[in-house]
Amino acid sequence: MMNHYDYIIIGSGIAGLYAALLAIKQGSVLVLTKSSIDDGSTKHAQGGIAAAIGKDDSPELHFKDTIAAGDGLCDVNAVNILTKEAAECIDDLIKLKVPFDKQDGKISLGKEAAHSVPRIIHAGGDATGEYIENTLIQQVKSTKVKVLEHCLVTEIVTDGGRAQGVKVFDYPTNQVKEYSSHFVILATGGVGQLFKYTTNPNVATGDGIAMAFKAGAEISDMEFFQFHPTAIRLPGVAPFLISEAVRGEGGILKNAAGYRFMPDYADGAELAPRDVVSRSILSEMKKTGSDKVFLDVTHLPAHLITTRFPHIYRFCQEHGLDITKEPIPVAPAAHYLMGGVKVNEWSETNIPGLFAIGEVACTGVHGANRLASNSLLEALVFGRRAIQRTQTSHSAIARKTNKYYSLPKRKPLSNVPPLNLTNLQSLMWNNVGIVRSAEGLTEAANILATWERSLPEFIDRASYELGNLVLCGRLMAEAALLREESRGAHFRTDFPNKSPKWRRHIVFRNKHSG
C-alpha cells in the first residue's frame, strides 16, 4: 500500500510551511524536505516583507513600484492580487506570533531600493527570514502535519495527465518510496547553486523546476535571474548577503580607490534597481582591477548599525571586520530566480493537481526584475491561494501556453571539461551571469547539452542534484540565448537595448513528457 495524503508539500521554507498550516485545516498533510526542516533560503532572507500597511502607503502605490521594477513583463492581475492581499497575510503572521519589529507600539517600516515609501516589515532587524521560519516550524510541530526530513523527491507521478503523488529517495536509508495524494504542491525554492558566487544555501539546486519540466509542466522566464549587488567578498568566506536595507539606511558604495561611483551610473545612486547596481559594481571592479568594491556605513551612528543590522554586524565582527569603523568588501552574487514553474493566479500549473508556490513558481509578479522584499510576500499570498483553490470544486487549470519552446537538440562536443559542480558553477557564472552575449551563451548551451548526455547514474543526493542543476542551467542558457534584448535582470552586450517585440515570455515545455 502506498502512503496516501490529501496534500503533499515539497519543501519547508516559508511557502511550504505556511501552506501546510492552512492545508492541515482541510485534510491530511505530508511535508517532504530533502534536508532538515530549517535548511532553506527563507532563514537567510534579511530584507523583510513588503506590504502597504503604512499611513502614507497604499496597495496602489505598491502595485506601481512592483510594475516599474518588472520592466514591462509583470502579470498585472498577479501584481494586483499580491499588493491587495498583502495586509491579510501579514495579519496571519502576527496571529501565528511572528515577532515583527515595532516602534512606539506600531510595526516599524523600512525603506529599500525602488520602493517609493517605507514599507518593509522586519523581525529581529536583519533576521526576518529566520524569525518567520522558526515561528512557522514551531507552529507546524504543534499540528498533525507529518514532516519527513532527508527525503529528496525525484519524480512527480502522473496518471491520466493528473499529478497523483511523488517518488522519494530516502537517502539516509538508500530507499525509494512512493506517496500518493490529491494535490502535490511544489515549494522547493530556487537554483542559486548554479553559480560560483551565490547567497543561496547549498539546497537551492532547482529540483522542483527539473521535476516539473520532466512531468510536462510549463517553465517560464528562466533567463531572468537576479544577482544581488552586495554579498561579502572575503578570502575563504562564502558569500554572505549584505542586505539592500543597508543602502536604504544610507550606506554608500566606493571603488577600490575610495571613489563613490554610483551617482555616475544612475539617478537613484545606491538605491537604483539591483541589476543596475550589480552591473555598475562589475564595471568598477574591471576598471580598478579589483575583485570587490566597498560598502561604507562608517558615517552612520554606530548604534543604528548594531541594532538595525545585528546579524550583519556580528557576522562581519566574527571575520575581523568592525563595520562601524571600516567599509565592507562586497561584490555581486547570484540571489533570486524570477522565473520557474508557470502558474496562474491560484498557483495552478498546466498539470491538474500540481501547484507551485514560492521561488520555484513563476507567478508573473516579478516580471523581468523582482522588487526587493516582494518574494517572502509572494510565497505567503500565493501559498494561501493554492490552498483556497483546493477547497473549491473548480477544476479549471492554468491555460496551456499557445507558443512554447522545446529544448533544442545540440550536437555533443568532443572536448568539454569534466562535469562536476565546480565546473558547472564556473561555466554559468562566466557565460550565463550578470553580463551575457550570444557567443558565451552558445558555448554554455553546447557544453550543458553535452554534459546532460553524460550524466552519472542517479545513486545519491549529489548525483540527483547535479542532474537537476544541469537541466535548469540548460533552460536558463537557452532562454537567455533566445531573448535578443536587454530587459530587467537579463543583460546582453550584443543586444544592449530593450525591444518591444520581446515584451513577451519564453515558455519551455518538455515534448517527451507525454
Contact 415, 380 (CB under 8 A): no
Q: Is the dihedral of CA 390, 394, 395, 397 positive or negative?
A: negative
**Nearest residue to 20 via CA among 189, 204, 187, 201:** 187
Residue 201, number of CB atoms within 10 A of its CB: 18
Residue 476 to residues 311, 321, 433, 455, 507, Cα–Cα distance (Å): 33, 37, 10, 18, 11
**How far is Cα 67 from Cα 75, in angstroms, rounded to an integer?**
9
Question: Per-residue b/e over 148-157, b at no fewer than 16 CB within 10 Å?
Answer: bbebbbbebb
H-type alpha helices, 274-329: 274-288, 302-308, 310-318
* 274 is known as an active-site residue: yes
Question: Cβ(129)–Cβ(120) under 8 Å?
Answer: no
Closest CA to 218 of 340, 73, 333: 340
* DSSP bridge partners of 152: 169
> Residue 360 and residue 42: Cα distance in Å, rounded?
13
Rounded to whole angstroms, the Cα distance separating 441 from 361 reads 24
- Exposed (0-12), middle (13-18) or buried (19+): which is 303, by Cβ within 10 Å? exposed
Q: What are phi and psi of 163, to 5 degrees?
A: -70, 130
**Nearest alpha-carbon partner for 448 in 430, 474, 422, 417:** 474
| E strand intervals along 372-418 | none
Query: In this structure, are residues 151 and 168 in contact, taking their beta carbons and an 8 Å threshold?
Result: yes
CB distance 170 to 151 below 8 Å: yes
Side-chain half-sphere of 92: how many Cα atoms within 13 Å?
19
Catalytic residue among 233, 247, 274, 487: 274
Grid cell at residue 428: 554559468
Q: Determine the Cα–Cα distance for residues 9 and 16; give it in Å rounded to an integer.
A: 6
- Residues 201, 26: contact at Cβ < 8 Å? no
Of 326, 361, 325, nearest in space to 345 by CA = 361
Q: Beta partners for 362?
A: 342
- On the CB side of 208, CA atoms within 13 Å amount to 33
Question: Active-site residues: which are they?
Answer: 274
